[in-house]
Structure 1
Amino acid sequence: MPGLRVAPAGVKPADTLPAPARAEFGRRAFLRACALDVQVRKPGNVSIASPGHGMEACHFKAAAAAAAGPISSAGAGVGERIEVAVRAAWQATHCNTNLGIVLLCAPLLAAFERRGGEGGPGALREALEEVLAALDLEDARAAYRAIAVANPGGLGRAPAQDVAEAPSVGLREAMALAAHRDRIAWQYLHAFADIFELGLPAFLAAAGAPGRGMQRTFVEFVAGLPDSHIVRKHGDAVAQCVMSEAAQWRTRARGGEVLDDDPAFAAWDEHLKARRLNPGTSADLCVAVALVAALTQAQPPSSRFY
């Protein structure tokens, strides 16, 4: 795939590494993706440049550091990765900073452990489909416990398999029931189609500039999909308005512009926060995209990601 880098001389591809070293590779890739999440401005979201919603970048960095070990633990199931990572992040920050990130990244890291980076994104997605197909009731119970710990706002009640009750189906089946109202749940049903088919091409189009890639991916998501976090808290009409606002930035990013060069981009960020609008689902999807890019591009094991 265009934009993928070749491993430097003397560096082993991730797929040739033993399980503990592959888990470490995944941990570093996760931290790298989470670092990008706050290093660049993504309007409406918390970044180093702009706090918001009662949180600062340091909360997200602390949560990522706490979650990185559990979510990449060698041999752990998806549900276990989710529960232990969310509990660790909550203990570090006492706020919900990364539930969506963990729900997306745990299956990806399990797939990476299964297949490694050989074959690029296509092979990783094949392994992901195997992981998703194998999710069971224990995975669902662990994920539900994690959601209870994080206690995200705006969930409401569901007529079946509500997260406030013990599940009676596997995690993928439970996510399928929520897919119509939650874009993270939708990924479980569709083998992370938004990540691989919409987000990753946008990210890789900014080859050599991951910050710009992250911003380009973000505006692709915000302009192309109603952000389900905004929909849950403010309704579909508001989410559609945010999509319209994002459209010009998507066009400009596709044209190669550096969005941060325009002060209006920062102004849009502040305007969204003033209206308490947080495209949080879009931001979570961006982290998953950055993780896929890191897992499928050879990186030196000694590289510092965070």
Structure 2
Amino acid sequence: MTAPRFDDPTQWMIPTACVWEVMARKVGNVHPGAAFRDADAVSFLLSAAVVTPNFGSRGDYEDVGGTVLACVRRTRAVVESNTNLGILLLLTPLAHPGAPMDREGFSRHVLNTERCGVAAARDVYEAIRVANPGGLGDAPEADVRAEPTITLLEAMALAADRDLVARQYANGFADVFDFGVPTFLDALRRFGCVEAAVIDAQLHWLAEYPDTLIARKAGAAAAADVQRRAADVLRLGGISSADGRRAGVELDRHLRSDGNRLNPGAVADLITACLFVALRERKVAPTAPFRWAATDWL
């Protein structure tokens, strides 16, 4: 089957990426079988639905920050918690009309002072205040409670060492293009369905990068511990083996043992970005098989 026709392909790519991410039974994250106190799968599905028009109807948007802010305001009209600030900070530049999906071309086209300047920083700061995510804005430099005097790119560079989403603005989305997308596509070839590919990709992300949301909420040692545990799951064969799946289930229990302080939310946002890039590059179709049939998983 061919992809559906829309005036703007982001009208189906963005919700598809968001829906795939939350529907996949990833360790420690919200999915249809696991919720947090202030958010469940429906919260994320509603968030995806309400922000899509800001991309489809604003196909000529020039300012990354303005779109992020408009989408955060739409989201807070339907959910009470921060479900998608990180996702929006990643998807907004990636979904920019005409943006090349090679890293160097993308950086030149979108990650510049015209689209990510001081005005964009002002809107993103306001979006952060509206979304009120845990831990962001606590650094003394470029405090989001103050009026910005630097560009969005400069603000993201200041936060790059403590936030995986901000790091993408500083490195031209290298982790998305060079690590995340190939990792997902490799898993898709091996497993033949989107859900298993997303789960496998998440484990590889967690083993490669300490999740910065965990680090902000529970400390760097906790994030490093999760990284080691994910690497252990992969050493046992990951979700390809019964031992790896058992270890993955144990990792999920650990991540849910302290409320949602160990929620690997930064990696979840990055996975959504990777899914969008794979869709935009036509490396995967929205009609691809989704559900993973494993009976010994979450």
TM-score exceeds 0.5: yes
Find 2:218's aligned residue among 225, 234, 237.
234
Write the deviation string for residues 243-293 of structure 1: whole angstroms up to 9, x where unpaired. Answer: 011013334567x71789935433422321112311110111100000100
Pairwise CA RMSD: 2.7
Tell me the secondary structure at the aligned position of residue 262 of structure 1.
Answer: helix
Tell me the equivalent position of 1:268. Answer: 251
Q: Which amino acid aligns with 2:220?
A: D
Q: TM-score, with normalisation over the residues of structure 2?
A: 0.85
Letter in 1 for 2:89: L
Q: Deviations over 1:79-126 (max 9, x none)?
A: 11101111111111021011100011100001xx1246xxxx42x651
- Structure number with greater CO (CA < 8 Å, separation at least 6) is 1
Corresponding residue of 1:181 = 162
- Contact 1:249–1:259, Cα closer than 8 Å, also in 2: no
Question: What CA distance in whole angstroms lies between the structure 1 residues aligned with 2:181 and 2:269?
Answer: 13
Within 5 Å, which residues of 2 pair with 1:1-306? Answer: 8=2, 21=7, 24-72=8-56, 73-76=58-61, 77-110=63-96, 113-115=97-99, 121-122=101-102, 126-133=105-112, 134=114, 135-155=116-136, 157-205=138-186, 206-207=188-189, 208-251=192-235, 257=240, 262-276=245-259, 277-297=262-282
**Identity %, equivalent residues:** 35
For 1:285, the aligned partner's letter is: L
Render the CA deviation track for 1:24-78: whole Å, top value 9, x for unaligned. 3112111111111111111111011211243210011011111111144211121
Give the TM-score normalised by the residue count of structure 1.
Answer: 0.83
Amino acid across the alignment from 2:95: L
Gaps (5+ residues) in structure 2? 291-298
Give the Å deviation of 1:302.
10
For the 8 Å contact 2:16–2:286, the answer to whether it is kept is no
Residue 38 to residue 302, structure 1, CA distance change in 2 (3 Å): closer
Q: Which amino acid aligns with 2:93?
A: P
> How many residues are matched?
280
Q: Residues of 2 paired with 1:177 and 1:143: CA distance? A: 14
| Distance (whole Å) between structure 1 residues aligned to residue 104 and residue 49 of structure 2 | 26
Q: 1:265 to 1:26 in 2, by over 3 A?
A: same
Q: Which protein has the bigger helix share? A: 1
Query: 1:137: Cα distance to partner?
Result: 1.1
In structure 1, the residue corresponding to 2:110 is in which secondary structure?
helix
